[in-house]
Amino acid sequence: MSSHSFFPTTEAGQVVWLTNYASKLPIHGPVCGIGEEEIANTLKDIRYYIWMLQHLNPTVHHYAKETTTHKVHMINGGGSETASLPQAPFFPDPPPIPAPGIQKRLFSQIIRLKASAGFNDAIGKDLGVIGTGTTIEHPTPEFTATVELGMTGPRVRLDFKKYGHDGIWIECRINGGEYTFLAVDTVKPYLDERPLAPGNSHETREYRMRWWDKSAPHGEWSAVQKAVLGV
């Protein structure tokens, strides 16, 4: 699940993640707008999900392997002893079976949870829903500034990665002046296609960025990137 980098790719890792999420959701869910009924249904989903990973699939796979071995032995084996039939799997007290679509419901809930006003990085870390490449590893945006030819002349192209953020807040200064707001961008790249200011034969444009989430800029400024336009 590339779009959910917080979710482990191995089944063993998923069991650990699901167990933690189930233990923390009743604490943080109400703060982030998740109601009691939805929390109860999510815990039901997770109990069944874990049971499938830990008991249902391994047991069925083991039985299938034993059945194949028994078949091969009965067809091609030797000896006079009577072979015993592999014992069929038995599951005492399995958890209630929820509706299909457990993972879809879980990820939908996490998207809503992370968009709520009560969500913050501490809650995200505790729930385990902050994936690889977030504010923990990337406290400031990383980007490049290159000059290229656009539809109306030279322009500056700013390439960046959001690392799970909503977008970036861009400021720019020209020829050593004051930094001023340029744009909020949520889709890379950002193209600065402003023409040279009247009277300027060239401009040194310096750019800096901050993270932009929930309609507000935050965090430290990035390293400055420069681009020169004109002769």
Task: Assess whether 93 and 199 both reside in one domain.
Answer: no
Helices then strands, counting H and E runs in the chain, come out as 5, 8
Boundary residue ending a domain (73, 100, 127): 127
Condensed to tens digits (0 to 9), the pLDDT of residues 164-180 reads 788 999 999 999 999 99
Residue 211 domain boundaries: 143-230
Residue 1 lies in a domain: no
Enclosing H/E stretch for 42: helix 36-51
Residue 170 contacts residue 182 (beta carbons within 8 Å): yes
**What local confidence, expressed as pLDDT, does residue 9 receive?**
76
**What local confidence, expressed as pLDDT, does residue 5 receive?**
75
CA dist 144 and 171 (Å) reads 14
Q: Using 70 as the pLDDT threshold, list the residues of the chain that sit under it.
A: 1-3, 79-81, 131-137, 231
**What is the length of the chain?**
231
> In the numeric block, which tokens belong to residue 91?
């599951």
Boundary residue ending a domain (127, 153, 185): 127
> In the numeric block, which tokens belong to residue 129?
């829903």
**What local confidence, expressed as pLDDT, does residue 183 receive?**
95
**What local confidence, expressed as pLDDT, does residue 136 receive?**
47
